[in-house]
Amino acid sequence: MIDAKTDVYCIFGNPVEHSKSPLIHNACFKHYGINAAYLAFKIDSIKAGTDALSNLNIKGASVTIPFKEKIIKLLDEVSEDAKAMGAVNTVLNKDDKLYGYNTDCMAAISPLKPLGIQGKNVAIIGAGGAAQAVAYGIQKEGGSLIIINRTVDKGERLASKFNGKFIGLNELERMNYLSADIIINTTSIGMHPDIEYSPIPSRFLNSSMIVMDVVYTPMNTRLLKEADQKGCTTIDGLSMFLHQGAAQFKIWTGISPDIEIMRQAILSGEK
Ligand code: ATR
């Protein structure tokens, strides 16, 4: 029941209408008997978001496109990991201070770790906040990075930050072979409603590759369908989404939630 004591949590993004974060967090608040509500706020400037956190005593926030990098300078303290990545996806408002964390990195790396990252060539498509988090995690685990991006200077900057190689999307169009063991899409290409697109032509995929997509709407993206047809090992975006959300819930409440409650909330919300 929502009453005068209800704590508010939220997500800041633009666009944000398609976010499934309200579904997973509200389901967990209900399951664990916590008097809190989680809302989605589409905002134009992240300063409006951090001001709202402080002025309205909103207890915590998820941060998504396009604010993960911009929010850093508006926070009181940022974890060492998030600082090194240059991206924050989680804010905790505690004792009148705003603390920034990043739960994307751990969530992206955990399904890859058992398959082996050390010594592998890992191609990351994209160079935004999600790419920064994934690149940081891959480097920490001993993988070599190849950054593939549409905008050259942004891609080159990320590649040089993590000692990786850079390939522009235009240049890739002219190539026939990509020397990669793992390919990770961190862009929104293939996301609903543009589900007919894939970030990379299927000629680059082969059966020895692991292909991961951070897009989870739809879960079976064109990239993953084509990877599957070529015999690649595939990892969909839902696993990363659920794990980053579970780690956020733990930061806010101290409770490690059951991932299945979150998965069920998404599946029943889609009916
Ligand atoms: P996030 O913080 O969630 O990673 P972002 O910072 O907006 O989001 O980054 C999105 C990434 O997806 C960017 O690398 C972007 O490429 P540009 O650097 O060229 O902007 C990439 N991206 C998004 N839509 C794309 C599209 N239609 N074609 C190619 N790249 C795209």
Rg (CA), the chain: 19
What average pLDDT does the chain have? 96
Residues in contact with 41: Cβ distance below 8 Å, sequence separation at least 6, in sequence order: 10, 11, 12, 13, 16, 49, 52
- The number of beta carbons lying within 10 Å of the beta carbon of residue 202 is 13
- Asked whether 108 lines ligand 1 (CB < 6 A), one says no
Indicate which residue's Cα is closest to atom 22 of ligand 1: 187
Which of 70, 184, 192 shows the shortest CA–CA distance to 138? 184
Q: Which atom of ligand 1 is nearest to the CA of 151?
A: 19
271 pLDDT above the threshold of 80? no
31 touches ligand 1 (CB under 6 Å): no
Hey, CA dihedral for 63, 67, 69, 75, is it positive or negative?
Answer: negative
CA of 55 to the centre of ligand 1 (A): 32
Whether ligand 1 lies within 6 angstroms of the CB of 157 is answered as no
Predicted local confidence at residue 269, as pLDDT? 79
Query: In the prediction, which pLDDT does 20 show?
Result: 94
- Contact between 124 and 159 under an 8 Å Cβ cutoff? The reply is no
Average pLDDT over residues 228-251: 96
Kindly give the distance from the C-alpha atom of residue 170 to the centroid of ligand 1, in angstroms, as a whole number: 15
pLDDT tier for residue 70 given thresholds of 50, 70 and 90: very high
Contact 200, 125 (CB under 8 A): yes
Tell me the whole-structure pTM to 2 decimals: 0.87
How many CB atoms sit inside 10 A of residue 73's CB? 10
- Closest among 106, 139, 140 to 124, alpha carbons compared: 139
φ, ψ for residue 168 (rounded to 5)?
-75, 150
pLDDT for 270 equals 65
| Residue 168, burial from CB neighbour count under 10 angstroms (0-12, 13-18, 19+) | middle
Segment 129-155 shows an average pLDDT of: 96
pLDDT score, position 65: 84
Lowest-pLDDT range, 20-29, 38-47, 185-194?
185-194
For the cut 60, the answer to whether the pLDDT of residue 73 exceeds it is: yes
Residue 106 contacts residue 133 (beta carbons within 8 Å): no
What is the mean predicted confidence (pLDDT) over 19-44? Answer: 97
> 6: CA distance to ligand 1 center in Å?
36
- The pLDDT of residue 18 is 86
Residue 244: pLDDT band with limits 50, 70, 90:
very high
Helix (H) or strand (E) holding 185: strand 182-185
Check the CA dihedral 101-107-108-109 and report its sign: positive
Q: What is the C-alpha separation between 149 and 245, in angstroms, rounded? A: 26
User: What is the arithmetic mean of pLDDT over 202-228?
Assistant: 96
When pLDDT is averaged across residues 135-164 and rounded to a whole number, the result is 97
Q: How far is the CA of 96 from the centre of ligand 1 (A)?
A: 34
68 is catalytic: yes
* Residue 190 Cβ < 6 Å to ligand 1: no
Residue 127 DSSP symbol: -
Q: What is the pLDDT of residue 13?
A: 95
User: Which residue among the candidates 68, 73, 113, 165 is catalytic per the annotation?
Assistant: 68
